[in-house]
């Protein structure tokens, strides 16, 4: 009998030790060699150059080293750019503009890596982060790569900057590889946990907490005007202050720029929105919402009533990045009821109406008018609802995580021998959480294209960068779209690495029988399509309710 109990006790002890070891294995950090971790990144050789060799550590240890290295790289690159800006030989205005873009973008990268390191350092357990913060940092790391790529593109497109580009090519390449390694190690080391229902992702300990949760119904914005429209939209939205722009001098300001400058610097989200009401009229000015003007809301009197217009272009010596009539960087920006134009025309090539690099930003019931490169969804998380977008070549482009919902997307008549491409998405790294999602929109021919002889070909998109990612779902696609659906950019470039997908579309242009057969093209199901909805792709449930902009989070 004693031996029987002894055997049972031994078995129980062995089972306890087995399950305890399993639990302990889940709690203890997993140590890896730098070689093992680096081999999982897009740039193994570069990764191994700066991680401490033969010193095992966790992926979190090495990610923090990599992020710190990326910060140092960004600081050094900014110093190098500033050096070239001070040289007497840097006299061409176009070169100065390209370098100023690089200076601006490098400072954004410094801000992002500094914030990331501080966030990880200050977390209770720096190997774990709330899911919302993980999304924030993944978004910021994705944007740092985009910023560096944008700097390089501007220099490449500026003939007078060729010698400077040659000097900066190695620092740019090193920076790209360094940032890519940081993004890869972070994305593999930190995984989003179950979210806690906050209405806005956390940034420096600040939240929107006093807003009505859930989607609101669309407002009859075209049949409502002036103060009534303003009151209808801001009902339920926290507002700190409201100012009026009227060019006749009867408002608080005569220009939009003066109103933006009057907004507080770096406000807390709990303060609510600083609202700028822009009375109907035509505003010939270039508007910039800088990074320190956060939680700013701009409301006009409607599409084609409040109009902001400019005509900068690449042909006239501007970079694509700084050709924008309206540029946004300040976090949580919201625009409602206005049209923004670039009137340079098709002959002037790239000419941006709006460039948006503002995280957690939304445009509602706005019009965007241009030809090539109309709407530059540059970076971070964005949402567009009930908007009208006009253009020809690559007229929705950039590398944000962006959803277009209930929008009308119009292809215009391009120059002779040109074709239309609705999108040119710019994802450059497989770990970036970016892409363009078009949901419940209508893709149509503008009046000039519809009344032409019908020889112009139009496509849903083409791959601007190697990992270009665009999804068109639950949308109406008219007959203007070529049966092949998508166009190559240059030979077979990116055709195997891109991700283009369609789901549940309607209309004469939605027939997929003769679509491209590229390795990266997909017809997806509802499960896959759900990954590109507002809730999942932009974490919209945690920040859009605060804006007052209506939306639906999932599939229809």
Which are the catalytic amino acids? Answer: 394
- Angle among Cα 458, 465, 47 to the nearest 5 degrees reads 170
Cβ neighbours of residue 345 under 8 Å, at least 6 residues apart? Answer: 351, 371
Residue with tokens 């176009």: 94
Q: Do the Cβ atoms of 398 and 425 come closer than 8 Å? A: yes
Phi, psi of 310, deg, nearest 5: -155, 175
* Alpha helices for 55-191 (secondary structure H): 59-86, 93-122, 131-156, 162-189
Of the candidates 336, 324, 420, 305, which has an alpha carbon nearest to the alpha carbon of residue 377?
A: 324
Alpha-carbon distance of 405 to 440, in angstroms, equals: 6
Collapse the DSSP code of 326 into the 3-class scheme (helix H, G, I; strand E, B; otherwise coil) and give the result. strand
Of the candidates 33, 28, 118, 26, which has an alpha carbon nearest to the alpha carbon of residue 71?
A: 118
Q: Do the Cβ atoms of 96 and 61 come closer than 8 Å? A: no
Alpha-carbon distance of 108 to 330, in angstroms, equals: 11
Alpha-carbon distance of 424 to 397, in angstroms, equals: 5
CA distances from 541 to 163, 213, 259, 354, 492 (A): 47, 8, 30, 25, 38
**Entry field: residues in the chain:** 556
Phi, psi of 226, deg, nearest 5: 60, -140
Of the candidates 405, 399, 364, 355, which has an alpha carbon nearest to the alpha carbon of residue 380?
A: 399
Q: How many CA atoms lie within 13 A of 57 on its CB side?
A: 18
Alpha-carbon distance of 545 to 334, in angstroms, equals: 12
Alpha-carbon distance of 238 to 275, in angstroms, equals: 10
How many beta carbons lie within 10 A of that of residue 94, not counting itself?
18
Structure tokens at 490: 């240059």
Alpha-carbon distance of 27 to 547, in angstroms, equals: 40
CA distances from 246 to 243, 325, 337, 341 (A): 10, 19, 15, 19
Of the candidates 435, 478, 487, which has an alpha carbon nearest to the alpha carbon of residue 459?
A: 487
Q: Contacts by 520-523 with C-beta closer than 8 Å and gap 24+?
A: 520/463, 520/494, 520/495, 520/496, 521/485, 521/486
CA distances from 67 to 128, 137, 150, 349 (A): 16, 11, 20, 38
Query: Does the CA dihedral 227-233-236-242 come out positive or negative?
Result: negative
């Amino acid at each position: 009998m004693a031996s029987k109990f002894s055997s049972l006790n031994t078995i129980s002890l062995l089972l306890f030790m087995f399950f305890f070891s399993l639990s302990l294995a889940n709690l203890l950090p997993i140590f890896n060699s730098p070689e093992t971790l680096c081999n999982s990144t897009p740039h193994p050789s570069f990764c191994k150059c700066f991680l401490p060799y033969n010193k095992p550590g966790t992926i979190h240890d090495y990610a923090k080293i990599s992020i710190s290295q990326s910060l140092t790289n960004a600081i050094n690159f900014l110093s190098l750019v500033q050096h070239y800006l001070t040289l007497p030989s840097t006299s061409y205005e176009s070169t100065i503009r390209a370098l100023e873009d690089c200076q601006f973008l490098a400072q954004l990268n410094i801000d992002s890596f500094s914030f990331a390191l501080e966030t990880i350092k200050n977390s209770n357990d720096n190997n774990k982060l709330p899911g919302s913060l993980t999304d924030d940092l993944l978004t910021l790391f994705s944007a740092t790569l985009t910023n560096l790529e944008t700097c390089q593109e501007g220099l490449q497109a500026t003939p007078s900057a060729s010698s400077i580009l040659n000097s900066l090519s190695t620092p740019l390449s090193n920076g790209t590889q360094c940032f890519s390694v940081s993004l890869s190690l972070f994305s593999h080391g930190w995984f989003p946990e179950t979210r806690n229902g906050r209405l806005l992702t956390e940034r420096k300990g600040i939240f929107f907490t006093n807003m009505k949760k859930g989607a609101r119904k669309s407002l009859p914005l075209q049949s409502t005007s002036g103060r009534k429209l303003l009151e209808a939209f801001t009902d339920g939205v926290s507002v700190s202050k409201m100012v009026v722009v009227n060019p006749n001098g009867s408002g608080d300001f005569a220009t939009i720029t003066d109103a933006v400058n009057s907004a507080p610097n770096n406000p807390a989200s709990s303060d609510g929105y600083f609202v700028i009401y822009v009375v109907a009229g035509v505003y010939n000015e270039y508007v910039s919402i800088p990074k320190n003007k956060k939680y700013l809301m701009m409301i006009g009197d409607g599409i084609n009533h409040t109009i902001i217009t400019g005509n900068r272009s690449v042909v006239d010596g501007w970079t694509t990045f700084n050709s924008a009539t309206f540029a946004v960087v300040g976090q949580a920006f919201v625009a409602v009821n206005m049209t923004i134009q670039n009137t340079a025309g098709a002959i002037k090539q790239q000419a941006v109406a709006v460039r948006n690099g503002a995280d957690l930003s939304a445009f509602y019931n706005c019009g965007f008018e241009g030809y090539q490169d109309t709407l530059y969804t540059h970076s971070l998380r964005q949402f567009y609802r009930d908007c009208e977008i006009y253009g020809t070549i690559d007229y929705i482009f950039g590398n944000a995580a962006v959803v277009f919902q209930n929008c009308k997307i119009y292809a215009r008549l391009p120059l002779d021998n040109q074709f239309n491409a609705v999108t040119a998405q710019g994802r450059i790294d497989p770990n970036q959480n970016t892409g363009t999602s078009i949901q419940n929109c209508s893709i149509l021919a503008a009046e000039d294209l519809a009344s032409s002889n019908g020889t112009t070909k139009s496509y849903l998109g083409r791959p601007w960068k190697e990992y270009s990612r665009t999804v068109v779902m639950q949308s109406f696609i008219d007959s203007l779209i070529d049966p092949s659906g998508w166009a190559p950019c240059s030979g077979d470039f990116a055709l195997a690495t891109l991700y283009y997908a369609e789901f549940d579309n309607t209309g004469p242009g939605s027939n997929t029988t003769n679509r491209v057969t590229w390795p990266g093209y997909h017809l997806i199901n509802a499960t896959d399509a759900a990954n590109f909805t507002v809730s999942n792709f932009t974490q919209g449930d945690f920040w859009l309710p605060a804006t007052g902009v209506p939306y639906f989070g999932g599939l229809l």
